[in-house]
Amino acid sequence: MKKWIPAILFLGFLGYDALGQNPDMEIERNLRRIDIPFEYANGFIVVKVTFNDVFPLRFIFDTGAEHTILSKREITDLLNIDYQRRFPIVGADLSKELYAYLAQGISLQLGGVKAVNRNILVLEEDYFHFEEYTGVNVQGILGSDFFRRFIVKINYPQGVISLYDPQYFDPPGKGFVSVPIEINRNKPYINAKINFHPDSSIQVRLLIDTGAGLALLLHTDTHPELKLPEKVIPSNLGAGLGGFLLGYMGRVQKLELEPFVFREVTSQFQDIPEGIDSSLFNQRNGIIGNEILRRFTIMIDYLHEQAYLEPNRHYKDEFIHDRSGLNLIAGGLNLNDFIIYGVIPGSPAAQAGLIRGDRILSINGIPAAFLDLEGANRKFRKRVGKKMCLKIARGNTKIHVSFHLRDLI
């Protein structure tokens, strides 16, 4: 079970193609490039957005989302925003039908860029529960309807997004590799090769998704050779609309984004349920997320369907994973109440007797109050064999348990 890169932001729209955006943008005078700082939090790119000139909010910067979404309806209710239409949307399990409203005339300011008279979607309820599932305090998703007119550069080590005016943009020079992509419904797709065995490779089409905190997600029923590896474990793939996405976790022996090659990639696997409109997936075989993307400085040229990749200091980082079998959610005022949401059968945590609903009070003597969810999860990615001592609240009883970390895949 993967917890340190815990989220996929999946949103499928039913019954319409777009929100009919008015492309009004106010940009600070004479700026050919605008730099926007971001926080990289628990696998998410989080940016500060001023909503309707009033509310300072935090949104996920998401190349995998076509539209901008507000998850906290109470904000637009407070502003007396009129909702124009009610839309069905696909939930995290790819089958539940949830709902969102169209809100018009919204302004969003991100650094030196202000988008006015925007149409956005407002979730009928807070289906995401970001805080609980990810320990990250955000109120929505900034989709490609906001930034698709720019050249987008994401510098993960520096924590900066740069938006370039295309008419003044020159392709980057030495260090960057140009890679063709396809833009469909304002979302970028890239071709890649994967290997489960040394003597066979599979060509796959992947969505470049900065709203996904994982490395690689493959839809196993979209290609006859896309099958589960021999060694997998049941996994919550991440947080989406209405809950966690369920599937499996294993490893892909090799992922090739020519000329770049990654080996022993921790990967998630999920089937697409029967009856789902395949057009929502645009013939993709999966998703490439931040755990791969953060190893590059990446530029996306939407107009010319081109990406530019430059490896950074994280390029050769090992793909590590949780070695406890625990899946935690966060609660409390400071999001440092850690509740066990699930335990993988047969894992070290399961063998130690931990169960769903247990609350973690301390990890190896460190009180939970001193940690955030990302920090707590990081403790369970330590070296194989490390002893973990936990203090647990189970109802009104406090107990101590210990176990040793080991590889699960």
Reported confidence tier of residue 2, pLDDT bands at 50, 70, 90: very low
- Which structure tokens are listed for 123? 């979730």
Reported confidence tier of residue 209, pLDDT bands at 50, 70, 90: very high
In the block, tokens 């390029």 appear at 315
Reported confidence tier of residue 84, pLDDT bands at 50, 70, 90: confident
- Judged against a pLDDT cut of 60, whether residue 407 lies above it is answered with yes
- Which structure tokens are listed for 155? 């510098």
Q: What angle do CA 167, 171, 177 make, to 5 degrees?
A: 150
Least confident piece of the model among 50-59, 223-232, 254-263, 292-301: 223-232
- The sign of the torsion formed by the CA atoms of 347, 349, 353, 359 equals negative
Q: Tens digit of pLDDT for each residue in 314-369?
A: 999 999 889 999 989 888 888 889 999 889 989 999 999 999 999 999 999 999 99
Closest alpha carbon to 47 in 33, 62, 32, 34: 62
Q: Tens digit of pLDDT for each residue in 240-262?
A: 554 556 788 999 999 999 899 99
Share of the chain above pLDDT 70, in %: 86
Q: Note the pLDDT of residue 8.
A: 39
- The sign of the torsion formed by the CA atoms of 293, 133, 19, 48 equals negative
In three-state secondary structure terms, 86 is strand
- Which structure tokens are listed for 306? 């081109």
